[in-house]
Chain A
C-alpha cells in the first residue's frame, strides 16, 4: 500500500473516524472471511481427511464403527504413489508454458503498435483487444470447435496436404493442438494489455540514441526494448500462466479423452468419482504452485538497477 503514504493523513483518527473505520471495513472483511477464507481453510482441512462412504468427507471424530475418521497424510501419499498424477501436473505446466510463450510472441507486435500509436488511435486499438474478450468465454471456445471441425476448410486443407505427402489424415479437433489454440485465444488479451502499458512508458529517444550509436534494428530491440519490457512480460505471463494451469473447460471441450490437465483431474474428484479429500489435496497442490509462480513473477518483475 505504498500509494496511501503519498497522501498525508491526519496524525490520528478522530473519535468519529474510528467508528467509521469499522463501519466501512467490517462488512467486506466479514463477507470475504466467510465466503473466501473459510472455504479455503476447509479445503485445506479436507485434504487431510478420509473420503466419506457416499462421497463427501468422513467425520473427523469417531462415529459408530466407521474405521476412517480423523486426519491422515494418505491423500498426499496417494498423489506421490502414482506417476500418473505427477505426469498430469507436468503436462499442465508444459501446456501453460507453451501457451504463455505463444501469447507472448503474438502479443508483442500488437502491444508495440498500441504503444507507438497516437493517443486517440491507441484507445481504439486497446478497445479492439478488449471487445472479443468481453464476449462469453464458452462462445470463444465454441468458435474453435467450429473452425477446427473435420468438415471445415482448415482440417480438409491440412489433410489434403498430409495425404499428398502420403501421411495418415489427422483430427484437429479433440487434440492437444486444439487445446493449445483455445488456451492462447482465450488468454491473449491478458498478455497484450500489460505489455502495451509497459511499452507506452518507453521514451522513443532511447531508441534514437541507440540508432545514433550505430545499433541495428535487431540490436535496438534485443538490447534496449526487450530488457526494458521485462516487467510487462512477467506481469502478462503470470496473467496467462496461472489461469491456464487451472483450466478445465478448454481441455473438456476442445481436447480428447487423453488431454486431461490438473483442472480436469480436480473436477473429476469433486463431480465424477467423488473423492473429495483427494480433490482437496490436488487443489492445495495447485494453490502452492500458483503461489510459488506469483512470488516468482513478482520477484522477476521488479525493476533492477541498470535497467532503469
Chain B
C-alpha cells in the first residue's frame, strides 16, 4: 500500500476543515458577549440564561422530545415488522413502500401529508399529524437497520428452533428478538434523532397548532437572529452527538444502514 501523497492529505484536510469550521463558529459565538455574530467581545453564559428563560423555546423543546419519543417508539415496532417481512417474505411492493418515503425529496412527503390530513381526514394540524408524519419517514430507517442485522444471522438458528418444536411466537420471543434487539435499539435512536432534527416535513404538517425546536429555530433565523440561536444549536449538537455515538456503539451495522 502506497502512502497517501501530501497533496491528498492537504485536500482532505481542507474538506474536513470545511465540515467543522462553520459549526465551531456557531458554538464559539454562543459564548460571545455581544448581540451580533460579528466579532469576539468576551466570554459570557448569558445566551444560555436567556434560552432557559424563553418560555416558547422550552415549550418547543418539550414538544420535540414528546414527538420524537412517541414517533420513534411506534416507528421501531412498525419498522422492525417491516424489516422482518422484507427479510423473510418476498413481498415485491414492501421494499417500495418502505424505502420510497426515505428516498424522495422531503417536501413531497410534506405536502402530500398536508393535503391528506386536511382534505381526506379533516384533521386539525398539530401534535397528532406531526407524530404520524414522523412515524411515516422513520419506518424505513428502522426497517433497513433491522434487515441488515437479519441478513447477517445464520438461518440455521431459526431452523433449529423450529425443529425443536418452537411456535413462531416462541421462535421470535426467545431467538429472533434477543438477536435483533441491538439493531432495534440503534434504529430507534436513529428515528429519535431524525424526528428531533426534522424541519421540512414538520413545517408542512404542524400548522399553527404546535411548535418544535427546528420550527422555533427557523422562525428565529427568519425574523431576528440573536446568539440565543447559537446557544440552542450548541445544546442540540451535544444531544445529537450523544445519540449518534450511542447508536454506533449499539450496533456495528448501524453506520452502513445509515449510509
Check if A and B associate: yes
Check: A286 CB closer than 8 A to any chain B CB: yes
Bitwise, A29-48 to B at CB < 8 A (1) or not (0) is 10111011111101100100
Interface size on A, residues (CB 8 A): 93
Check if A135 sits within 8 Å of B229, measured CB to CB: no
B29 within 8 A of A: yes
Chain B interface size, under 10 / 10 to 19 / 20 to 34 / 35 or more: 35 or more
Contact A140 B23 (CB under 8 A): yes
Contact of A109 among B8, B36, B91, B109 (CB under 8 A): B8
- B84 an interface residue at 8 Å Cβ cutoff? yes
Quick check: B94 and A28 within 8 Å, CB to CB?
yes
Whole-angstrom distance between the alpha carbons of A23 and B86 in the complex? Answer: 13
**Residue in chain B with minimal CB distance to A133:** B19
How many A-B residue pairs lie within 8 Å, measured between CB atoms?
Answer: 257
In the complex, the answer to whether B197 meets A137 with C-beta atoms within 8 Å is yes
**Interchain nearest-CB distance for A226 vs B (Å):** 15
- How far apart are A296's CB and chain B's nearest CB, in angstroms? 14
| A36, B136: Cβ atoms closer than 8 Å | yes
- On chain B, the residues within 8 Å of A279 by CB distance are 111
Which among B39, B82, B103, B255 is the interface contact of A126 at CB below 8 angstroms? B255
Q: Roughly how many angstroms separate A50 CA and B49 CA in the complex, as a whole number?
A: 51
A246 and B244 within 8 A (CB): no
Mark out the residues of chain A between 216 and 248 whose CB falls within 8 Å of any chain B CB in the assembled complex. 242-243, 245-248
CA separation between A35 and B106, bound complex, in Å? Answer: 14
B116 contacts chain A at the CB level, 8 A cutoff: yes
**Given A138-B221, A204-B2; A28-B78 close (CB under 8 Å):** yes
Distance between Cα atoms of A167 and B70 in the complex (Å): 56
Contact in complex: A253, B106 (CB < 8 Å): no
B90 vs chain A, min Cβ distance (A): 6
Given contacts A20-B168, A39-B116, A136-B233, contact A246 B106 (CB under 8 A): yes
Extra contacts, 16 of them, besides A28-B139, A38-B116, A243-B106 (Cβ < 8 A), are: A8-B155, A20-B168, A28-B98, A35-B113, A39-B116, A39-B120, A43-B111, A46-B115, A57-B115, A135-B23, A139-B23, A143-B22, A146-B25, A242-B105, A270-B204, A290-B104
Residues on A lying within 8 angstroms of B by beta carbon are: 1, 3-4, 7-10, 14, 16-17, 19-21, 24-25, 27-29, 31-33, 35-40, 42-43, 46, 56-57, 106-107, 109-110, 112-113, 116, 126-132, 134-147, 149, 151-152, 185, 188-189, 193-194, 197, 204, 207, 242-243, 245-249, 252-253, 263, 266-267, 270-271, 276, 279-280, 283, 286-287, 290, 294
